[in-house]
């Protein structure tokens, strides 16, 4: 701006002020736009701005990832040329945007997206995409769980109601051998249902809080002696069962929960080991951690089942599990209890030779009795 004199000085100064105000306004607008963009960029959802012809005006990093776009290269391109998915195309063109479109984007990490179009301005659109993969997975798990529980309860109930019908019709009486057998089967099916309900209640109690209900120091030897007694009752003399304690200790945790976890491992060993097999329960130390392990000479488990054994209702051997009154929830409970105690479950198994399940409790939860002599490793104890 030239410097004028006289009347021009006044005119130029006016122009100068005007120009400066316009500049400041433009700066403010640019800063505001940058702020809006960085807010949209920071959004966890994918955001794409489309013009009236569905061409991409702008998109954030999440949209780049979930739709496989490139904000720089793809600006000005019609989105339907780049995101080729029949449901997506129909939704964007359909102009019925009250409900979001939930669809799996094939080829993009198989993400499940909830997509929503919000029209605004002059026929422009805002395309929003939320990753609902995890929520969908949970929903599928919930559905499967309900289906499994219903199935598990329906089978014994069908047996019981079938027998009740024959009694009601007078086809059989409880004082004749056939009737007594029917009553016995009804009783065992009822016990099975009760056991399932007990396990479900236990799981739901475990899931309702992240931490053990009661933390207390308890004596492992005493607990394991009790579990050994129960194991002998359950086995009814069919197996050789031994308890070996390498190093007495006190454990800090919820005794009832840990008793249930250890008891489940032992009852599995008994149920999956044919008569005359042997079962060794052992407690000891490994690298400062406390380890309770149960080794059996039973059926063993094929390697492909091992990673899934702790899933609810997963069974490697379906018929044996049901025949022996298994609910399919035992190892899920064990895993939950150990996780709540910052511990873990280790499984080694070989079909036809046997299995070893080890519950490992972290050092900070275990107070070993002081001992002068060198103690054998817990794994060695379970080797016969």
Q: Tokens in use for 161? A: 């109601």
Cα–Cα distance between 149 and 145 in angstroms, integer? Answer: 6
Smallest distance from the beta carbon of 72 to ligand ADP, in angstroms?
A: 53
> Based on CB atoms, which residue is closest to ligand ADP, 328 or 343?
328
Q: Tokens 């002696």 correspond to what residue? A: 225
**Using rule CB under 6 A, residue 328 touches ligand ADP:** yes
**Using rule CB under 6 A, residue 327 touches ligand ADP:** yes
> Based on CB atoms, which residue is closest to ligand ADP, 285 or 316?
316
What are the residues whose beta carbons fall under 8 Å from the beta carbon of 102, sequence distance 6 or more? 112, 113, 114, 115, 132, 136
Among 191, 252, 164, which Cα is nearest to 216's?
A: 252
Q: Tokens in use for 30? A: 């640019």
**Using rule CB under 6 A, residue 355 touches ligand ADP:** yes
Q: How many residues bind to ligand ADP according to rule CB under 6 A? A: 21
Question: Are 321 and 329 a contacting pair, CB within 8 Å?
Answer: no
**Using rule CB under 6 A, residue 277 touches ligand ADP:** no
**Using rule CB under 6 A, residue 152 touches ligand ADP:** no
One residue of 45, 64, 317, 379 binding ligand ADP per CB under 6 A:
317
Among 124, 80, 123, 126, which Cα is nearest to 100's?
A: 126
**Using rule CB under 6 A, residue 189 touches ligand ADP:** no
Question: Are 63 and 48 a contacting pair, CB within 8 Å?
Answer: yes
Burial of 281 (0-12, 13-18, 19+ CB in 10 A): buried
Stretch that binds ligand ADP, among 157-165, 205-213, 230-238, 313-321 (CB under 6 A): 313-321
237-266 binders of ligand ADP (CB under 6 A): 264
> Based on CB atoms, which residue is closest to ligand ADP, 69 or 265?
265
Q: For residue 223, how many other CB atoms are within 10 A of its CB?
A: 18
> Based on CB atoms, which residue is closest to ligand ADP, 129 or 279?
279
Smallest distance from the beta carbon of 364 to ligand ADP, in angstroms?
A: 28
Handedness of CA 29, 32, 34, 40 (dihedral sign): negative
> Based on CB atoms, which residue is closest to ligand ADP, 192 or 247?
192
> Based on CB atoms, which residue is closest to ligand ADP, 46 or 300?
300
**Using rule CB under 6 A, residue 330 touches ligand ADP:** yes
Residues near ligand ADP (CB under 6 A) are 264, 268-269, 272, 296, 298-299, 301, 309, 315-317, 321, 326-332, 355
């Amino acid at each position: 701006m030239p410097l004028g004199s006289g009347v021009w000085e006044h005119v130029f100064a006016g122009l100068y002020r005007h120009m400066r105000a316009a500049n400041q306004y433009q700066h403010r607008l640019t800063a505001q736009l940058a702020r809006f963009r960085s807010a949209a960029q920071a959004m966890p959802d994918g955001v794409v701005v489309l013009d009236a012809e569905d061409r991409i005006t702008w998109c954030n990093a999440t949209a780049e990832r979930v739709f496989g776009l490139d904000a720089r290269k793809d600006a000005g391109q019609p989105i339907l040329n780049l995101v080729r998915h029949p449901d997506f195309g129909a939704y964007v063109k359909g102009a019925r945007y009250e409900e979001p479109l939930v669809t799996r984007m094939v080829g993009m990490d198989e993400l499940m997206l909830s997509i929503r179009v919000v029209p605004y301005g002059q026929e422009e659109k805002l395309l929003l995409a939320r990753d609902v993969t995890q929520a969908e997975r949970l929903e599928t798990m919930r559905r499967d769980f309900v289906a499994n529980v219903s199935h598990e309860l329906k089978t014994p109930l069908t047996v019981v109601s079938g027998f009740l019908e024959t009694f009601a019709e007078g086809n059989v009486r409880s004082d004749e051998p056939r009737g007594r057998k029917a009553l016995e089967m009804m009783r065992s099916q009822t016990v099975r249902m009760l056991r399932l309900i007990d396990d479900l209640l236990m799981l739901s109690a475990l899931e309702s809080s992240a931490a053990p209900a009661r933390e207390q120091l308890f004596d492992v030897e005493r607990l394991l002696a009790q579990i050994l007694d129960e194991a002998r009752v359950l086995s009814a003399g069919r197996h050789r069962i031994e308890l070996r304690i390498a190093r007495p200790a006190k454990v800090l945790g919820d005794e009832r929960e840990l008793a249930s976890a250890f008891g489940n491992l032992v009852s599995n060993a008994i149920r999956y080991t044919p008569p005359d097999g042997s079962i060794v329960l052992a407690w000891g130390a490994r690298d400062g951690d406390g380890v309770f392990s149960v080794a059996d000479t039973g059926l063993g488990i094929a390697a492909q089942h091992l990673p899934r054994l702790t899933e609810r209702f997963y069974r490697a051997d379906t018929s044996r599990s049901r025949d022996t009154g298994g609910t399919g929830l035992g190892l899920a409970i064990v895993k939950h209890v150990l996780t709540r105690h910052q511990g873990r479950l280790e499984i080694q198994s070989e079909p036809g030779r046997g299995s070893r399940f080890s519950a490992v409790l972290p050092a900070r939860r275990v107070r070993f009795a002081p001992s002068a002599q060198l103690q054998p490793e817990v794994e060695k104890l379970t080797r016969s």
